[in-house]
Amino acid sequence: MIRPGNALLDAFIAGPDRAVQKWIDYFDAYDRLLSPWRGRALTFLEIGVQNGGSLMMWRDYLGPDARIIGVDVDPNCRAMTEHGFEIWIGDQADPAFWDGFKAAVPSVDVVLDDGGHTMRQQLVTFDALFPIVSNGGLFMVEDTHTSYFPSHGGGAPGHPGTWMARVKDLIDQMHAWYHAPIDTADQVMAAVTIPSITIFDSLVAIEKRRRSPPIALARGDGGHQKNPPAMDYIAMRRALRVPDGGV
């Protein structure tokens, strides 16, 4: 069920001659994730252009100040340059392609991977592009159910080398403050740059934002137990007998 007043659905409906397909649950998810970006100057990268309908939908939704870039392996997608979009033709599973892209586009605010959905494509794309996502930006991957499809390199839950296996690993890394060796926790990429990972059905959104080490604050002096005014993750670990060398 899509909530009334969904501006992305309005943009989807606005172009009946545009070839575009989205799972119905995506409209609420994307409106929730991307509504703060509407009307702003941002660089939005979509991998998977196909017929270009989604690029037009995103432009209608995000507004005229958005710089929208499309990437596809099909040279026919260059036709979308006639509509004012920047189009790159290349294989998203090729790290060398992304090296060339990043030399020309050193920073993006939002990445949407709606490409080929194979495990190699999704993993190579994340490894290549997450480092250039701006502070406060988003990295999103569609059709993550392919992690369970052997045809795309996936398999049953727990199958190694899938995108969803990487997401589960990132969740653990995001919490490295609480289990990694204390002297290395602040060197774990996800711990210092990923404050949230939002998982929807077949869609994952990873926020990138520089983080400080966790600290808990307390106020008020009522009650029979006194709380310290502040406790960092190191004090918490030691209070709970977590070894400094990690678990």
- Structural domains of the chain, with CATH: 7-213 (3.40.50.150)
Pairwise CA distance, residues 46 & 7, whole Å? 19
Asked if 88 and 111 touch (Cβ cutoff 8 Å), the reply is no
pLDDT tens, per residue, the chain with 247 residues: 567 677 777 767 776 566 677 767 778 898 899 999 999 999 999 999 988 888 988 998 999 999 999 999 999 999 999 999 999 999 999 999 999 999 999 999 999 999 999 999 999 999 999 999 999 999 999 999 999 999 999 999 999 999 999 999 999 999 999 999 999 999 999 999 999 999 999 999 999 999 999 999 888 777 777 778 889 999 999 999 999 999 9
Asked if 55 and 85 touch (Cβ cutoff 8 Å), the reply is yes
Whole-model pTM?
0.91
Residue 27's pLDDT is 80
Residue 18's pLDDT is 63
**229: amino acid identity, one letter:** P
142-145 long-range contacts, CB within 8 A, separation 24+: 142/26, 142/112, 142/113, 142/114, 142/117, 142/202, 142/203, 143/114, 143/117, 143/202, 143/203, 144/202, 144/203, 144/204, 145/201, 145/202
Pairwise CA distance, residues 101 & 104, whole Å? 5
Pairwise CA distance, residues 170 & 207, whole Å? 12
Residue 218's pLDDT is 84
Going by C-beta distance under 8 Å and a sequence separation of 6 or more, which residues neighbour residue 243?
none
Residue 221's pLDDT is 75
Please list the active-site residues: 117
Residue 120's pLDDT is 98
Residue 28's pLDDT is 87
Going by C-beta distance under 8 Å and a sequence separation of 6 or more, which residues neighbour residue 104?
none
Residue 203's pLDDT is 96
Residue 197's pLDDT is 98
Asked if 47 and 129 touch (Cβ cutoff 8 Å), the reply is no
Residue 53's pLDDT is 83
